[in-house]
Amino acid sequence: MSNGCYEEREHKEPALCETSDDRNAAWNIKLQACMHRIPEDPSSVRGSRWPVPNDFVADLEHWRKAVRSSYLTGMGIDWKTIRNVMDMRAVYGGFAAVLQEMKVWVMNVVTIDSPDTLPVIYDRGLFGIYP
């Protein structure tokens, strides 16, 4: 919950990363053997808010209705020929969760200008990426 436990260690290995090191950087960065500090104010960290159960229920119900009323019948999609699907504005992975019963692989995409829900998607056992 805090950095206090690390600070009390006799041997501080691995070292803590510099405060300027971006823990979310993914491209063109040199890997370092260090640990990031736990944020003092977790609410300021992108993706720190875990959804409440009602969020999951609402998202799942939305996608169940959408898949049932449009994707399965109204759009003329032959699902026997579909293997891969991308959800380009994945929130909690509800679309992928509904399609889980079908034999398709869904890639959830969480855009950088939206709340970071990719950890939630991963915790649900689903796949996802940042664009």
DSSP 56-101: HHHHHHHHHHHIIIIITTTT---GGG--EEEETT-SSSHHHHHHTT
Average pLDDT of the residues in 99-120: 88
- Rounded to whole angstroms, the Cα distance separating 28 from 26 reads 7
DSSP state of 106: E
Domain boundaries, the chain: 1-38, 53-129
Is the predicted pLDDT of residue 19 greater than 60, yes or no?
yes
Q: Please report which confidence band the pLDDT of residue 109 belongs to, taking 50, 70 and 90 as the band edges.
A: very high
Structure confidence at residue 5 (pLDDT): 86
One-letter amino acid at 75 equals M
- Rounded to whole angstroms, the Cα distance separating 71 from 85 reads 12
**What pLDDT, in 10s, does the model give residues 52-99?**
889 889 999 999 999 988 888 878 888 889 999 999 999 899 999 999
| Segment among 40-44, 46-50, 90-94, 100-104 with least mean pLDDT | 46-50
pTM above 0.75, yes or no: no
Is the predicted pLDDT of residue 48 greater than 60, yes or no?
no
Class of CATH domain 53-129: alpha beta
Is the predicted pLDDT of residue 26 greater than 80, yes or no?
no
Structure confidence at residue 50 (pLDDT): 67
Q: Alpha-carbon Rg of the chain, whole angstroms?
A: 19
